[in-house]
């Protein structure tokens, strides 16, 4: 997938809009108070381009290095999750993956692997260890 980078025009407008302050949101929901320093910020995609976010001003945010690093790690998780969901939706499977106990049911028409052959004969009734039996 080709990356869509912000044009210089959009970058300039985003930087102007930020007015010298990081546009990142902290986990508290407040805006990051970092002053932007030359070479210490990034014009970031709010919605990552890997998730279809367009390279337009409304999808741009100017982030300090700390906010950008945090955002990038978060984006990575979102992108990986989106890929897993897309794979599941399109039936893309790892040919070497083993079914996980208690995990998703196996696709139909594919028998579960067993460590041993399934029992075909029924077992004799269990005897209790504690029952008193007269010797025969």
Name the site residues for Zn ion (rule: CB under 5 A): 22, 24, 32, 34, 64, 67
Quick one: 24 or 48, whose CB is closer to Zn ion? Answer: 24
Picking from 10, 92, 78, 81, the residue whose alpha carbon sits closest to that of residue 44 is: 10
Task: Report d(CA 106, CA 125) in Å as an integer.
Answer: 32
Q: Which is nearer to Zn ion, 14 or 34 (CB)?
A: 34
Residue with tokens 């932007």: 36
Tell me whether residue 18 or residue 57 sits nearer to Zn ion (CB atom): 18
Report, in Å, the least distance between residue 45 CB and Zn ion: 15
- Among 91, 37, 87, CA closest to 63: 37
- CA 36 to CA 39: how far, in whole Å? 9
Q: Which is nearer to Zn ion, 14 or 22 (CB)?
A: 22
Which structure tokens are listed for 34? 């970092």
Q: How far is the CB of 100 from Zn ion (least distance, A)?
A: 39
**CA 99, CA 59: separation in Å to the nearest integer?**
40
Q: How far is the CB of 32 from Zn ion (least distance, A)?
A: 3
Least CB distance to Zn ion at residue 26 (A): 8
């Amino acid at each position: 997938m080709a990356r869509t980078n912000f044009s210089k025009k959009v970058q300039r407008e985003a930087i102007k809009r930020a007015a010298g302050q990081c546009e990142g949101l902290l986990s508290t929901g407040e805006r990051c108070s970092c002053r932007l320093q030359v070479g210490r910020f990034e014009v970031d995609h709010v919605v990552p381009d890997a998730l279809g976010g367009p390279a337009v001003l409304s999808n741009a945010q100017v982030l300090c290095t700390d906010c950008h690093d945090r955002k990038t790690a978060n984006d990575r998780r979102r992108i990986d999750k989106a890929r897993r969901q897309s794979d599941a939706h399109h039936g893309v499977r790892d040919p070497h993956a083993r079914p996980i106990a208690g995990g998703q049911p196996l696709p139909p028409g594919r028998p579960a692997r067993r460590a041993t052959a399934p029992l075909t004969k029924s077992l004799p009734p269990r005897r209790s260890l504690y029952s008193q039996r007269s010797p025969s």
